[in-house]
Amino acid sequence: MDYTRYDWTKEEILNIYNKPLMELLYEAATVHRKHHDPNTVQVSTLLSIKTGGCSEDCGYCPQAARYHTDIEKNDLMSVSHVKAQALRAKESGSSRVCMGAAWRNVKDGPEFDQVLEMVRTINKLDMEVCCTLGMITENQAKRLAEAGLYAYNHNLDTSEDYYKDVISTRAFEDRLETIDNVRKSNVTVCSGGIIGMGEKLEDRAGMLVALSSLNPQPESVPINALVAVEGTPMEDIEPVAIWDMVRMVASTRIVMPETQVRLSAGRTQMSREGQALCFFAGANSIFAGDKLLTTPNPDVNEDMEMFALLGLNNQKPFEKHAQPETVEALDSVLQALGEKPKWTRPGHTIERNEAAKVKSKIVK
């Protein structure tokens, strides 16, 4: 039976998610083995190339300027700094570098040109390059592709319904539009979400409906567990149970058989046994490095110890898709268009986001 379908319904996904655990694990592991080597896991390093001061109001994020958190703000990193970090990541077994900038959207200009140079530099190190820079236009996606970008990350975060309770500064449709713009280039799509933000099981299923109905489905789907950071609107939410992570990973694997399912934020809260269950349920990618943008992550040596213990191998770069070619800036056929797209700004009131903003003004 071919499991690749683009018409999964919420009810069907809920039925999968709620199966007796042993059945769910067996089914997910069976799909996993059919489409992937179960002993190979891709390792990515996430690098925050521009930290904090973001104008958005994502309720889970310590980088939003409007909340009072302890993160240190940083301007855009230099290309040489990024290159040094990428080399370190390569030496420690990562096949991919994912560069994150706390921007609402990409603006043409010197900073984007600098990011394009980072992409060229890392692709020339024979590593997969991913960027997560906020909303982008089709032309910007094509310029990234021309520089040698392998993947673009843009998470849906949660279901369309619950999105309105998490973010008010942009709409779910904006996310889909950026993914669509990326699809118009030859860059692969990385898009997933976060569980444990107070959403219902229906919202988890709803997010998987939205992701699995994309045709083609995203090549990579990160599943994050909320890391509640003090000062953010979600600071008091209890960590999600490991069983929820396992069920979410297994359901993702079943409805998106070809994708690489990535265990992302929240791994520090998970035991090795818990992570092993997630790998069995179909996770085949992790983020390595002691920090995930701003939140803690297991030490890379600990991860490699875990890999040895479980008999897992690091996936080599470009095993799933060919390495893109890099066009040098001087040879580029694409120009900055200086577009000013009208990304939406719904601006509705989210009580907990407002409360965190007010609290932040008192603390500051």
> Where in 251-290 is the site for ligand SF4 (CB under 6 A)?
none
Stretch that binds ligand SF4, among 52-60, 195-203, 306-314, 339-347 (CB under 6 A): 52-60
Judged by CB under 6 A, which of 48, 63, 85, 137 binds ligand SF4?
Answer: 63
Question: Are 193 and 160 in contact, with CB atoms under 8 Å apart?
Answer: no
Judged by CB under 6 A, which of 16, 31, 47, 64 binds ligand SF4?
Answer: 64
Question: What's phi and psi for 20, nearest 5 deg?
Answer: -55, 140
Question: Environment class of residue 114 by beta-carbon count within 10 Å: exposed (0-12), middle (13-18) or buried (19+)?
Answer: middle
In the residue annotation, 58 being an active-site residue is answered as yes
Contact partners, residue 257, CB within 8 Å, separation at least 6: 3, 4, 31, 32, 34, 35
In the residue annotation, 278 being an active-site residue is answered as no
In the residue annotation, 183 being an active-site residue is answered as no
> Where in 95-114 is the site for ligand SF4 (CB under 6 A)?
102, 104
In the residue annotation, 131 being an active-site residue is answered as no
Terminal Cα-to-Cα distance of the chain (whole angstroms): 58
What's the closest the beta carbon of residue 206 comes to ligand SF4, in angstroms?
Answer: 20
Q: Would you state the structure tokens that stand for residue 99, as one six-digit string?
A: 């560069």
Among 288, 267, 265, residue whose Cα is nearest residue 276: 267
What's the closest the beta carbon of residue 305 comes to ligand SF4, in angstroms?
Answer: 31
Q: Which of 120, 130, 131, 247 is catalytic?
A: 130
Stretch that binds ligand SF4, among 60-68, 82-90, 264-272, 274-282 (CB under 6 A): 60-68
Q: Would you state the structure tokens that stand for residue 317, as one six-digit string?
A: 């770069």
Helix locations, the chain, DSSP H: 10-17, 21-35, 79-91, 110-123, 138-147, 160-163, 172-183, 201-212, 242-255, 272-280, 300-310, 351-363
What's the closest the beta carbon of residue 147 comes to ligand SF4, in angstroms?
Answer: 22
Q: Would you state the structure tokens that stand for residue 303, as one six-digit string?
A: 């991860």
Q: Which of 96, 98, 175, 183 is catalytic?
A: 98
Question: Are 267 and 235 in contact, with CB atoms under 8 Å apart?
Answer: no
> Considering beta carbons, is residue 102 or 205 the nearer one to ligand SF4?
102
Stretch that binds ligand SF4, among 41-49, 51-59, 118-126, 305-313 (CB under 6 A): 51-59
What's the closest the beta carbon of residue 211 comes to ligand SF4, in angstroms?
Answer: 18
Q: Would you state the structure tokens that stand for residue 32, as one six-digit string?
A: 């996993």
> Considering beta carbons, is residue 100 or 206 the nearer one to ligand SF4?
100
What's the closest the beta carbon of residue 133 comes to ligand SF4, in angstroms?
Answer: 9
How many degrees, rounded to 5, is the angle at CA 191 between CA 162 and CA 98? 130
Q: Tokens 């980088």 — which residue?
A: 63
Q: Which of 96, 143, 170, 190 is catalytic?
A: 190
Asked whether position 79 contacts ligand SF4 by CB under 6 A, the answer is no
Asked whether position 58 contacts ligand SF4 by CB under 6 A, the answer is yes
- DSSP per-residue codes, 42-106: EEEEEEEEEBS-BS---TT-TTBTTS---PPPB-PPPHHHHHHHHHHHHHTT-SEEEEEE--SB-
In the residue annotation, 98 being an active-site residue is answered as yes
Q: Which of 96, 120, 253, 262 is catalytic?
A: 262
What's the closest the beta carbon of residue 167 comes to ligand SF4, in angstroms?
Answer: 7
Residues near ligand SF4 (CB under 6 A): 54, 56, 58, 61, 63-64, 102, 104, 134
Active site residues: 54, 58, 61, 98, 130, 190, 262
